[in-house]
Chains A and B, each alone.
Chain A
Amino acid sequence: MKDLEYTNRRLPYGESDEQVDQLVSAATAHAIEQSHRRATAWHQRHRLVWAAAAMVVILLGVGAALFYAEHKTAVTEPDSEAYAGPVDTFLSSLTDDEAMQVAYYEIDEIPEY
């Protein structure tokens, strides 16, 4: 039999005040513990998200650097080929007179073999 002191009413149940207090403090402690566990889990998840975001940024950076390097090589390649070609090497080795002769060389004057 339970007398509720705060309102002076009776209930047909057997729990004593001490038992109820124990239940309440156990429930209180459990709620606090669970709240701390959740907070820790949240922080861990938070750290994982940041790590993943940093990884994505790094990958994007590396990808962009590789793309830029490849793109730069592709643009400069034709120029270097033009200057390094055998015709250019030959023309640049000629003296001015020889170059003039090549420039005024008539197609009909090319001997046939």
Chain B
Amino acid sequence: MLGDVERRDQGFALLMRHYGRALYWHIRRLVVNHDDAQDALQETCIKVLEGIAGFKGDEEQLASWLYKIATREALQSLRRRTRLFQSIDDLGDSLVQQLHAEASVDADEATVLFQQAILQLPTQQRLVFNMRYYDDLTHEQIAQVLGKNVGTVKTSYHYAVEKLRDYLKQHSS
């Protein structure tokens, strides 16, 4: 029994060494705020450790499972910021303000503007775009993370790219 727990802990630590950075940045891009990202990462770790013994699947499914937990925790963190009857989609402007407050001093204008454009997207499109563009997840993996079909994911990505292109055209000087 003790050996099982030790092996589980070692496996979990190894998993987090491999995926930890990617999960942190995934959460950080969604919640923007550093402290909230840290809390959501903490919750993600706890949920992963609780569920790791029951996970059955291959490596591709493992990545999807980890991103699913991290996404859920990030969205939960965003939900805590909303007022009564307010949707997460309405948080775009406050996230952009947060982005400007948290952007590093050496961040170039184009990178900030690009991130700002992403934060204006509806939540589902933002999730799909982030996971595809930054994390190189396949459409199938993203569909697993979000519990949607692959067609919906592809459509969301297409609309996200269109909106980003329009936004950047309008806001580039």
Q: Majority SS of interface residues in chain B?
A: helix
Q: Which of B23, B44, B49, B99 contacts A12 (CB 8 A)?
A: B99
Chain A residues within an 8 Å CB radius of B112: 12
Interface residues on A, range: 20 to 34
Task: State A6–B23 Cα separation when bound (angstroms).
Answer: 12
- Contact bitstring A6-50, B, C-beta under 8 A = 1, else 0: 110111111101001101110110111011100100000000000
Contacts between the two chains (Cβ within 8 Å), count: 97
Chain A residues within an 8 Å CB radius of B44: 27
Please tell me if the beta carbons of B134 and A27 are within 8 angstroms of each other in the complex: no
Closest B-chain residue to A36, C-beta based? B5
- Contact bitstring A64-85, B, C-beta under 8 A = 1, else 0: 0000000000000000000000
- Contact bitstring B36-61, A, C-beta under 8 A = 1, else 0: 00100110111011100000000000
Interface centre among B16, B23, B45, B105 (most CB of A within 10 A): B45
Task: State A14–B37 Cα separation when bound (angstroms).
Answer: 14
Interface residues on B, range: 35 or more
Q: Is B103 an interface residue (CB 8 A)?
A: yes
Beyond A25-B17, A31-B45, list 19 extra A-B contacts (CB 8 Å). Answer: A4-B134, A9-B133, A12-B104, A12-B107, A14-B104, A14-B105, A20-B25, A23-B41, A24-B23, A27-B20, A27-B41, A27-B45, A28-B16, A28-B20, A30-B45, A30-B46, A31-B12, A31-B49, A35-B50
- Which B residues form the contact surface with A (CB < 8 A)? 5, 9, 12-13, 16-17, 20-25, 28-29, 34, 38, 41-42, 44-46, 48-50, 99, 102-108, 111-112, 115, 133-136
